Amino acid sequence: MKAQTRGRPRADQPKLSRDQILDAALALLAEAGLAALTMRSLARRLGVDPMAVYHYFADKDELLTAAAERSFASLRPRMPADGDWQARLRGLARAYLRTVLRSRELLLYVTGAGRVSAPFDEHFFSAIAPLGLSDRDQRTCRDALVDLLHGISLAGEGHDPDPQLDVLFLGMRALASEKAKAKEHRR
């Protein structure tokens, strides 16, 4: 989603772009944290008037949303195309962890806002399709996986996610099995 710019930047301002602002915002997040990222601190870092930043982003929330979208757009899981659903989800989980570990501060924003990236959803729902779950159950499984991954990422790097993933996948299999039995029983 491309945001519209507002107004016209002053002629005496250095050339600025959305990408430059996002680069600076992500760097500031990594260095100083979410609380330190303000439109003024970002403008100071860029050497521009704060209104120049507002020309591209209406507010901090819009800026953080764009930063999160940019970070998750690069989500490229190593998911075997012909692998089983568990192998595919394991690849997706590892890619998601790599992404959120690059910017924990952005993770805190994403978690607080209850957002999940569209690329993640696309890969997740494709991988879990063989289980034959309803849309509601698929979303529940997705939310459980995302919550697990956020917890792992907040615990720190070097944490092996496999034991927790194995338990979660066991639960997903059990849910699919119970739903299939209930469906068969209704026939």
Q: What is the pLDDT confidence band of residue 79, given thresholds at 50, 70 and 90?
A: low
Q: Can you tell me the distance from the alpha carbon of 155 to that of 151, in angstroms, rounded to the nearest whole number? A: 6
Q: Please tell me the predicted confidence (pLDDT) of residue 111.
A: 65
What letter represents residue 56's amino acid?
Answer: Y
Instruction: With beta carbons less than 8 A apart as the criterion, state whether 39 and 116 touch.
Output: no
Is-above-0.85 flag for pTM? no
Which of the four CATH numbers 3.30.160, 1.10.357, 2.60.40, 3.40.1280 does domain 76-186 have?
A: 1.10.357
Residue 53 in tokens = 């930043």
Q: Domain 18-71 - what CATH class? A: mainly alpha
Domain residue spans in the chain?
18-71, 76-186
Instruction: With beta carbons less than 8 A apart as the criterion, state whether 115 and 67 touch.
Output: no
Looking at the predicted structure, is the pLDDT value of residue 10 above 70?
Answer: no
Q: What is the tens place of the pLDDT at every residue in 24-60?
A: 999 998 888 888 999 999 999 999 999 999 999 999 9
Q: Can you tell me the distance from the alpha carbon of 174 to that of 140, in angstroms, rounded to the nearest whole number? A: 14
